[in-house]
Every structure is written in structure tokens, then in C-alpha cells.
Amino acid sequence: MRTMTRRSVTGQYPDVKPELPPRSRGVIALLEENCTVCMLCARECPDWCIYIDSHKETIPAPPGGRERQRNVLDRFDIDFSLCMYCGICIEACPFDALFWSPEFEYAELDIRDLTHGKERLGEWMATVPPPPAHDDSGVRPKELESAAAALAKTAAGAGPERPSRHGREAEAAAPAPAEPVEPAPAEPVTPEVAAPEAPPTGRRSLGGVVWAPEEDER
Ligand code: SF4
Ligand code: SF4
């Protein structure tokens, strides 16, 4: 009843643009730098309306390393005349290369022109709204929890800094510090006992009487 009595409002589009919810599913935008040509989106698309071509590029080897290869995206087309806006490709992308954009003004006069390439999909990235703010009462991401735990562990175990490998090498190369030399204990000075003077050879004193053995032997 309330709806029946409400006055209808006619949107004056295109003179007045409609105010769409920020998470509207208008069109799919592509962040080309994030795409690794894994083909998951094309495989998962139920309408088979994503067309991808690529070639391999060799990255020169860094000093001491070896050459690597990477995929370079040549073509990324979405046929929006077939797309049913299910969002499976966006959910399937493991590298955050696909996003919903609220952009909706891409109508064409010819249905064949509704196939848009990576350049056009990249332009729509400018209209992708930023991700919603984190809900404080929600479950925190596992990555944040593990990072906070690692930080707390580092802060708790911050003891004396361990010497680096170079520090240990320098320590080993340095000459060993001289050991303190203990002073030797001084020898006890014994008072010199004066030896009794030997009687002169040839003559002996006996009770004040000088006795000459030579004479006695004679
Ligand atoms: S939204 Fe659905 S139908 Fe459209 S390209 Fe993605 S997976 Fe395919
Ligand atoms: S799933 Fe993502 S990374 Fe893989 S080809 Fe599609 S857009 Fe590129």
C-alpha cells in the first residue's frame, strides 16, 4: 500500500547520472601488471568469453644466477555480449588482477564491438572503488595475526645482539689479548748467617792456648 501511494521518480539519465552503490557490478576491469597469464579465469568462465594470448620472455641472468622466463600478456579480451556478470573470473583470479567497476556506459551500436581488450579493461581500473575499511569486530586476516605474533616475539626476545658472521671473522683474525702477567712472589730474604771464621790453618786455638798441630805431630 505504501508503495502504491508513493510517487514515481523518473531518472533524468543521461542528464543526471544515477547514484549507484559503490560495489555495483558494472563491468570487469583488469590490472595488467598483476596478471601472470595463469589462465584460471578463462578456464573457470562458464560462458567461455575470456580470450587470452601471451608469449614467453627471457629475463637475463643476474650475476651468479640463471636465466628466467616469464609470460607476457598479448591479448586479454572479454566479450561482454556473452558475459553474464557472474563474477566467477574475479573470484578465481589468484593474483588480484580482476575487479568489479561500477562503470556501465559502454554500450555499442554493434554487438561485435562489445568485445573489449586489455587497454579498455585497464582504463576501467580508474573507476574501481577502494576496498572497504576493515571491520574492527570482524575476524582479522591470518597474515596480520602471524605478523603481529612475529613482531611480539622479536620484541620479547630482544637480548644482546648476536655478532654477525663478519663480526665473528674479524674477532678470529684479531690478535689474542695479552694475558695479565702476575708478578712472581718475591723470595723471602733470609738473614745471612755469618759463618764462623775458620781458625787459621796451621794454628788452632784451644781455650786461649794456641796449638800448632805441626808442632804436635812432630
Ligand atoms: S563475469 Fe562470469 S561470465 Fe563474465 S567473464 Fe567473468 S566468469 Fe565469464
Ligand atoms: S586468473 Fe588472474 S592472473 Fe590468471 S590469467 Fe586471469 S586475470 Fe590473469
| Interval 49-65 mean pLDDT | 94
Strand order in the sheet with 115-116: 50-59, 68-79, 115-116
Is the CB of 35 inside a 6 Å radius of any atom of ligand 2? yes
For a pocket test of ligand 1, which of 76, 77, 86 has the largest count of ligand atoms closer than 8 A to its C-beta?
A: 86
Cell numbers given for 154: 622479536
Q: What is the pLDDT of residue 28?
A: 97
For the ranges 93-97, 126-130, 142-146, 174-178, the maximum mean pLDDT occurs at: 93-97
3 pLDDT above the threshold of 50: yes
Q: What is the pLDDT of residue 214?
A: 47
Q: What is the pLDDT of residue 67?
A: 92
Strand 27-30 relative to strand 98-101: parallel, antiparallel, unpaired?
antiparallel
Which tops the pLDDT comparison, 78 or 158? 78
Coil vs helix vs strand at 44? helix
Q: What is the pLDDT of residue 184?
A: 54
205 pLDDT above the threshold of 90: no
Model pTM score: 0.63
Residue 49 C-alpha to ligand 1 middle, in angstroms? Answer: 7
Q: Which atom of ligand 2 is nearest to the CA of 30?
A: 7
Residue 50 C-alpha to ligand 2 middle, in angstroms? Answer: 10
Which tops the pLDDT comparison, 158 or 102? 102
Candidate from 54-58, 110-114, 162-166 with smallest mean pLDDT? 162-166
Enter the DSSP assignment of 208: T
158 pLDDT above the threshold of 80: no
pLDDT, tens digit (0-9, with 9 covering 90-100), for 103-129: 999 999 999 999 999 999 999 999 999
**Averaged pLDDT score across all residues of the chain:** 80
Is the CB of 97 inside a 6 Å radius of any atom of ligand 2? yes
Enter the DSSP assignment of 96: S
Phi, psi of 167 (to 5 degrees): -65, -40
Which tops the pLDDT comparison, 162 or 98? 98
